[in-house]
Amino acid sequence: MLEGKFDEASLLKKVIDAMKDSVKLCNFNCTENGISVQAIDDSRVLLISLLIEAGSFEDYRCDRNIVLGLEMESLNKIIKNGNASDMLTLVAEDSPDALNLIFEDKRRDRIAEYSLKLMDIDQDFLKIEDMKFDAVVNMPSAEFAKICRDMKTLSESLQIIITKDSVKFNSEGDFGSGSVVIKSFTDLEKTEESVRITLEKPINLTFGAKYLNDIIKSTPLASQVTIKLCDKQPALFEYQLPSGYLRFYLAPKFED
């Protein structure tokens, strides 16, 4: 049996909000360590890897491994009905045909209970070896989100160029072009405002702006985003959860 209680529904609300536009159907794998998901978008360009460790829950137990096949849009409809500050408990039997979601407000005078039908989802599972990266950028997630939104107004592609101590986001469109340069920066008082660049080799990669604008829906989850890049390889965008992560692997664009 699975029983996982979040102190606040807001964490799962944000996670589902970040995923629902990229993937429609997901298997949520529940083990004693927590809940994990791997899902690929229909175009097979973006892969989502979610890990909500048991430590992200106030109470968590899962005696036997359970797979919950969930339709993200339906899950989102139910999740939206709960208040962000409600306690949220996920409950499923050992061989479940439904996931129960219980929202309780903190004063315990209101309990809302929902049941979501499960689906049998046949999904490819991709093996992601330990990847080596040539460049790692830690930057404020809100800053990254603004750059992705701004650059998308110009072009469907966003070029990321990393040299020693700066990251250049470059966009070449039909009616004009634009770029934003971010430099390494340490804010000792507000560390979440800092930009850190760790570089082994210079990077010049191009990504689809549409996918980046899906990824930045994770912004409310974490004040910083970690971007890991390697020449001619998928990039990794990571948002840390209190205990766990939401990762996106994005395939680059190449010269034809």
Task: List the Cα angle 75/79/80 in 5-degree steps.
Answer: 120
User: In the bound complex, what is the minimum distance in angstroms from residue 127's beta carbon to another protein?
Assistant: 4
Only one of the segments 60-68, 69-77, 126-134, 175-183 lies at the binding site for another protein (rule: CB under 8 A); that segment is 126-134
For the bound state, the minimum distance from the C-beta of residue 255 to another protein, rounded and expressed in Å, comes to: 6
Helix, coil or strand: residue 216: helix
Residue 132 lies near another protein (rule: CB under 8 A): no
Q: Which of the ranges 9-17, 94-102, 118-126, 220-228 carries the binding residues for another protein, by CB under 8 A?
A: 118-126
The Cα–Cα gap between 90 and 114 comes to: 10
CB nearer another protein, residue 45 or residue 160: 45
Told to check if 65 binds another protein by CB under 8 A, we report no
Determine, following the binding rule CB under 8 A, whether residue 108 of this chain makes contact with another protein: no
Q: Least distance to another protein from the beta carbon of 39, Å?
A: 12
List 115's β-bridge partners, or say none: 100
Only segment of 59-67, 77-85, 125-133, 190-198 that touches another protein (CB under 8 A): 125-133
**What does the buried/exposed string (b/e) look like for 29-54 if buried means 16 or more CB atoms within 10 Å of the residue's CB?**
bbeeebbbbbbbbeeebbbbbbbbbb
Please, which of residues 206-225 interact with another protein by CB under 8 A? Answer: 206, 208
Work out whether the CA dihedral 219, 221, 223, 229 comes out positive or negative: negative
C-alpha to C-alpha distance for 20 and 72, rounded to whole angstroms: 5
Residues 20-49 that bind another protein (CB under 8 A): 40, 43-47
Would you say 31 or 43 has its CB closer to another protein?
A: 43
Rounded Cα distance, 85 and 69, in Å: 26
| Min CB(221)–another protein separation in Å | 22
Q: Are strands 25-31 and 34-40 parallel, antiparallel or unpaired?
A: antiparallel
For the CB of residue 116, give the shortest distance to another protein in the complex, in Å.
28
Size of the site for another protein (CB under 8 A): 23
Residue 249 found at the interface with another protein (CB under 8 A): yes
**For the window 158-177, what string marks contact with another protein as x by the rule CB under 8 A?**
--------------------
What is the C-alpha separation between 167 and 205, in angstroms, rounded?
11
Interface of this chain with another protein, residues 139 to 158, rule: CB under 8 A: 157
Q: What value, to the nearest 5°, has the Cα angle with vertex 219 and ends 183 and 15?
A: 145
Tell me: does residue 252 bind another protein (CB under 8 A): yes
DSSP category for residue 218: G
Residues 6+ apart with CB under 8 A from 150: 178, 180
Helix (H, G, I), strand (E, B) or coil at 115: strand
84 is a contact residue toward another protein (CB under 8 A): no
Interacting residues toward another protein by CB under 8 A: 40, 43-47, 124-128, 157, 206, 208, 233-234, 249, 251-256
